A and B are shown apart, each in its own frame.
Chain A
Amino acid sequence: MERNHFMRSIEQKGKKVVKESSQKIANTVVKKKLIEPGSHNLLIYDDLRTFREIYSEYSRALLPQNEIIIIGTQYDTVENVKNTLRLVGVDDVERHLNQGTLFIVDAQKGYYDAGSRGMWKLAMSILSRVKKEGRQGVSWFGDLGSFFSFEKIEELMQYELWCPQKYEEDIMKSICSYHSKDFEKLTEAQKQALFDHHFKSILVE
């Protein structure tokens, strides 16, 4: 991978890049509060296990703090995500789902079947609720793998570059998530554009 080249080029531009091992990444994301308020971030995970650890540790830490979490899953079923959250000790997953403080969505339906902005619309509707109910915020993990399955790379790029780097509302945080094998399918220019456009890039090595 041309990752080193990208890292040098991005770091020269003063972009925020975090590189972390798969063993430490979930802890780093939570403890170091990598996901800043109002930011649109890029996460490249090395395998599904790592992605599971990241969103589940994040949910375990943030759900009790009055945060709403959205997980858009591509390679795990909704049921598997629920089980993963239960396994790491997220308290009462069903209650959070019923109360609307946790949303687990099939990302393929969210990004593809409902149009590339389907997940965005869902997140924005939850954002209005967050404001109305005085909650801490909303964090949105979305796996963009469906764009690769359907070979819709142009739509992916349009969608990503259409999303702002910083949201007007500080209570909104998003983490656009890519399996590294999907991300590898992009051209060098497309990778660079994504690194440049996101507020922070988190790479699991």
Chain B
Amino acid sequence: MASEEDLPLSTNPADDKNNNDKPLAKLLIVDDDADIVQVLKMGLVKNRFLVEAFTNPEEALQSFKSNAESYCLLLSDMRMPSLSGIQLARKVKEINPNVRVVLMTAFEIRDEEFAKVFPSSRVDGFLQKPITIRDLIIKIMSLIGQSKRRRTDED
């Protein structure tokens, strides 16, 4: 597992020739649609991400709890039965506030509504489905890059 210090700031992981065998980051992917989970996982693994993927958000949370420090980012669907994306995000951030959270949805994104209902839940980004793997990687890399820069500034 790569630490955040190992992560390149490039948004094109395929261009990174120096660390070809190292995973770029460990991601937790959650969507109740199994097809979407499979496609995202395949696309991200191919681009050197380490991915744990779930269709059941409760199971995803259990997995996160057991190894919270190893994850860099949660990518979750917004509308899921039993635990919505925003609820999952809140729980994940409670356990590890450094984890970046991106929520994706095929519905209209109205993040201000979530901010009103869950003012303490901070989501780092939203993505409108359908999503291309390229756009997803750009989003992930920019968030992970921000995280790295923030840590460097703090040091």
A153-195 CB mask vs B (1 if < 8 Å, else 0) is 0000000000000000000000000011110110000000000
Residues on A with beta carbons closer than 8 Å to the beta carbon of B32 = 48, 75
Cross-chain contact A77 with B106 (CB below 8 angstroms):
yes
Question: Which of B82, B107, B108 sits near A181, CB closer than 8 Å?
Answer: B82
The number of chain B residues with a CB under 8 A from chain A is 14
Question: Which of A108, A150, A180, A185 sits near B107, CB closer than 8 Å?
Answer: A108
Interface residues of A (CB under 8 A from B): 48, 74-75, 77, 79-80, 106, 108, 113, 145, 148-151, 179-182, 184-185
Cross-chain contact B107 with A106 (CB below 8 angstroms):
yes
B105-119 CB mask vs A (1 if < 8 Å, else 0) is 011101001000100
Cross-chain contact B81 with A179 (CB below 8 angstroms):
yes
Cross-chain contact B117 with A150 (CB below 8 angstroms):
yes
Residues on B with beta carbons closer than 8 Å to the beta carbon of A149 = 79, 84, 86-87
Chain B nearest CB: distance from A1 CB in Å? 13
Residues on A with beta carbons closer than 8 Å to the beta carbon of B87 = 149, 151
Tell me the dominant secondary structure on chain A's binding face.
Answer: helix
Contact A113:B107 (CB < 8 A) given known A75-B79, A145-B81, A148-B84: no
CA distance A185 to B108 in the complex (A): 26
Question: Which of B84, B86, B106, B113 sits near A113, CB closer than 8 Å?
Answer: B113
Chain A nearest CB: distance from B32 CB in Å? 7
CA distance A77 to B87 in the complex (A): 20
Counting CB contacts under 8 A, is B136 at the interface? no
Chain A nearest CB: distance from B75 CB in Å? 18
Which residue of chain B lies nearest to A79 when distances are taken between CB atoms in the complex? B106
Counting CB contacts under 8 A, is B51 at the interface? no
Cross-chain contact B79 with A184 (CB below 8 angstroms):
no
Which residue of chain A lies nearest to B108 when distances are taken between CB atoms in the complex? A106
Cross-chain contact A181 with B81 (CB below 8 angstroms):
yes
Chain A nearest CB: distance from B85 CB in Å? 9
Residues on B with beta carbons closer than 8 Å to the beta carbon of A113 = 110, 113
Which residue of chain B lies nearest to A181 when distances are taken between CB atoms in the complex? B82
Contact A75:B80 (CB < 8 A) given known A149-B87, A151-B87: yes
Chain A nearest CB: distance from B79 CB in Å? 5
Residues on B with beta carbons closer than 8 Å to the beta carbon of A74 = 79
Cross-chain contact A185 with B113 (CB below 8 angstroms):
no
Which residue of chain B lies nearest to A145 when distances are taken between CB atoms in the complex? B81
Residues of B99-129 whose CB lies within 8 A of A:
106-108, 110, 113, 117
